[in-house]
A and B are shown apart, each in its own frame.
Chain A
Amino acid sequence: MSHPSELISAYLDGELHGPELKSLLDHLAGCGRCSVDLEELQRVRSAIRSLPVLELPEGVVPEADADVVPIHRNRGLWVGAAAAVVALVIAVAALVTPAPEPVSLEDLTSRFGARATLDPAFNPAKVVVPPEVSE
């Protein structure tokens, strides 16, 4: 009795149709060895599919480099997200940073006045009346 192991593999790949498929199914119904082979093959396939997908380093398989492209495309997304986070931090910092105390006109007038007193042209006209005194 011949055992159609190639057909089992093709069956698992979904490549058998019509009489070939019927012939194999009839054989599997009466052949314990081939049924065991089928079960083992199915287990191996399931185990392989459950393994994590690893990315090959660039250049190891030149043909595979094309698959890396989508990762490069995703970099734009990451950069945008990082920029948004930085902008958010800046905006929050700008909101929570207290504005420095402004310089008062009184302070400026005081400095100007102090220096003006050293000027030979100093006279009462140089003494500026603070706004509270103006009428």
Chain B
Amino acid sequence: MRQLVALIALLTLLPATVAWGAELDELLTRGNEANYSAEQTISCSTPDGVRDAVVRITQMDGELRVSSSVTDEVEVAAGGGTWSVRRGDGLIAETAVDAGEQEKTEPLYTVQEEAAVEYLGRAAMSYLLIRDGEPRGELTFDNETGALVEAITFTLDGEVYCERRFTSIDSQVESTSTLDTEAAADTGGTAPVEVEASPLPEEVSGFELLDQYEDEDGLRFSYYSDGFFSFAVFETPTAVSLPEATAVDLDSGKYVRAFTAGQVTYVWETVNGGMALVGDLPPDLHEAVLDDMPHPQDPGFFRRWWRNLFG
């Protein structure tokens, strides 16, 4: 009888102390709809050293613009399936993809409401992101705007991988859109394709293959997500140029790897061409993911030459 009373008391108290079940998608969607400008510091402890950056962010009407806080020369504008990079007055790269039919995947993460906090003098709420019983992230959202003001991601052993912190935030922001998402939609972005004989797995280490895209040059990429982290695997007919890269020797073979503040890129070669993985997944997941992809293999002189000639 005493045990039953204790159990009832525990169940009564539990919701007051731990709020489970807040949807990660809902929190992030609200954050994506927020209008604000902010300065953000990024610091990632990678196996190849620390990667830092300080950026200025402006988010308005679903468009996110990120530029250096030191120089305005380079600016990334992203939103609605479009991504553009500008240097000065010139457009360097612009890519548009169509969503296709998005299937709602089973949430891999549970969100635990951690604490009401004050961040930059503003009311905020902190959440713990848990995957397979292990905390993989700590997210803090500004109450007024819904902006994700702090994101700390962890490796499986609890070490901090990346810390992204707003050092200032201003919710009074004027629209200065540079991204023509409507024009991109009119001209049509790259649509997902059905790849019948893909050598890539449907699921790897909790990451689900959501869709695949292929352009007229034969460059194909497959997008994977586990609901928070994501990566794309590229199958390219030619080599991938990766400046300032490090050679790494994993169980599955030899790769070339490069980290920037928040992104990792692996490049390798198979008998069928070049491959690359680009994403924000933490280092402890790299080996497991790469092991399930086509392994590095030297195509040999003649295959390489043949590809050079005929693609």
Which residue from chain A places its CB closest to the CB of B75 in the assembled complex? A133
The answer to whether B280 and A127 touch across the interface, beta carbons within 8 angstroms, is: no
B61 close to chain A: CB less than 8 A: no
- A51: min CB distance to chain B, Å: 50
The answer to whether A118 and B265 touch across the interface, beta carbons within 8 angstroms, is: no
B73 contacts across to A, CB distance below 8 A: 132-133
Stretch with Cβ within 8 A of A (4 or more), from B118-126, B228-236, B284-292: B228-236
Which residue from chain B places its CB closest to the CB of A99 in the assembled complex? B308
The answer to whether A112 and B85 touch across the interface, beta carbons within 8 angstroms, is: no
The answer to whether B53 and A105 touch across the interface, beta carbons within 8 angstroms, is: no
The answer to whether B70 and A135 touch across the interface, beta carbons within 8 angstroms, is: yes
A105 contacts across to B, CB distance below 8 A: 240-243, 258, 265, 278
Interface 1/0s, chain B 219-255, versus A by CB < 8 A? 1010101011111101011111111100000000000
The answer to whether A100 and B238 touch across the interface, beta carbons within 8 angstroms, is: yes
B160 close to chain A: CB less than 8 A: no
The complex places the Cα of A124 from the Cα of B234 at a distance, in Å, of: 23
A115 contacts across to B, CB distance below 8 A: 81, 97, 211, 213, 221, 223, 232
The answer to whether B81 and A114 touch across the interface, beta carbons within 8 angstroms, is: yes
Which residue from chain B places its CB closest to the CB of A124 in the assembled complex? B57
The answer to whether B241 and A104 touch across the interface, beta carbons within 8 angstroms, is: yes
B60 close to chain A: CB less than 8 A: no
**B residues bordering A, Cβ < 8 Å?**
24-25, 28-29, 31-32, 40, 42, 51-55, 57, 59, 64, 66-68, 70-71, 73-74, 76, 78-85, 87, 92-97, 99, 102, 148, 151, 153, 162, 164, 189, 210-211, 213, 219, 221, 223, 225, 227-232, 234, 236-244, 258, 260-263, 265, 274, 276, 278-280, 301, 305, 307-309, 311
The contact sample of 30 A-B pairs, CB cut-off 8 A, is A94-B301, A97-B308, A102-B241, A103-B219, A103-B276, A106-B92, A108-B234, A108-B276, A110-B93, A111-B83, A111-B95, A111-B97, A114-B81, A115-B211, A117-B83, A118-B80, A118-B97, A120-B29, A121-B25, A124-B148, A125-B148, A125-B153, A128-B76, A129-B262, A130-B260, A131-B243, A132-B68, A132-B73, A133-B68, A133-B71
